[in-house]
């Protein structure tokens, strides 16, 4: 399968159909990749995690593979500009109306929603990972993109249903890998 683009016809189509000028960026300007080895002394588990980030005009595509394997996809909705503005409006927030558990406190990352596209939707550990990645990406989102597609290996976490300290360590490792991948210069 090949694709040939005539730059003259692309320019003409832009003038007729779009209000935004064509962006001249190569793939390498939009793609970042980083790999690290994870070694777990407790479970005697060692594997390579690879993160790749592709940035599109309206969303991010993030792949996190364990030894090259990806089997779960999430559509993560980031807070819209209106939601962001509402979270900064502290005039509406009254300290005396706050519940004892702090449930009425506004969070800037509120509104990050992860929906399973492909994979096991009962795996809450991956659901938490997707939401945390959404919150992290929200910090690296100056263009205010409103969504990301996260493809991840469902085998990153321990096999048990109960959360362990090892799961928290793995979650932090994945988040640090993604954060460092965002900071890689293209």
pLDDT in tens, 52-111: 999 888 889 999 999 999 999 999 998 866 655 655 554 444 445 444 444 444 455 567
Q: What is the mean pLDDT of residues 3-9?
A: 38
pTM of the model: 0.70
Query: What residue segments make up the domains of the chain, in order of their start?
Result: 26-182
pLDDT band (50, 70, 90) for residue 145: confident
Length of the chain: 186
| 26-182 is a CATH 3.20.20.105 domain | no
Distinct helix (H) and strand (E) counts, the chain: 5, 6
Q: Are strands 72-77 and 59-66 parallel, antiparallel or unpaired?
A: unpaired
Question: Which of the two residues, 92 and 139, has the higher pLDDT score?
Answer: 139
Quote the pLDDT of residue 41. 76
Mean pLDDT score across all residues of the chain: 75
Q: Which of 33, 51, 44 is nearest to 174 (CA)?
A: 51
- How confident is the model over 109-138, as pLDDT tens digits? 567 889 999 998 888 899 999 999 999 998
C-alpha distances out from residue 70 to 51, 82, 119, 180, Å: 11, 33, 10, 20
Rounded to whole angstroms, the Cα distance separating 8 from 28 reads 23
Q: Which of 8-12, 30-34, 145-149 has the lowest mean pLDDT?
A: 8-12
Rounded to whole angstroms, the Cα distance separating 19 from 15 reads 8
């Amino acid at each position: 399968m090949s694709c040939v683009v005539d730059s003259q016809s692309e320019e003409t189509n832009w003038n007729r159909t779009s209000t935004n000028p064509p962006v001249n960026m190569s793939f390498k300007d939009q793609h970042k990749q980083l790999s690290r080895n994870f070694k777990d002394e407790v479970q005697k588990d060692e594997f390579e995690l690879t993160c790749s980030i592709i940035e599109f005009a309206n969303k991010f595509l993030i792949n996190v593979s364990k030894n090259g394997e990806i089997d779960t996809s999430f559509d993560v909705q980031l807070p819209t500009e209106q939601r962001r503005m509402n979270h900064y409006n502290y005039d509406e927030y009254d300290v005396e109306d706050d519940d004892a558990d702090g449930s009425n406190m506004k969070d800037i990352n509120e509104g990050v929603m992860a929906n399973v596209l492909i994979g096991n939707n009962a795996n809450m550990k991956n659901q938490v990972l997707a939401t945390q990645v959404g919150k992290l990406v929200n910090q690296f989102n100056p263009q205010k993109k409103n969504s990301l597609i996260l493809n991840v290996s469902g085998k990153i976490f321990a096999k048990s249903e109960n959360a362990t300290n090892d799961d928290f360590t793995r979650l932090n490792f994945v988040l640090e890998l993604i954060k460092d991948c965002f900071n890689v210069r293209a």
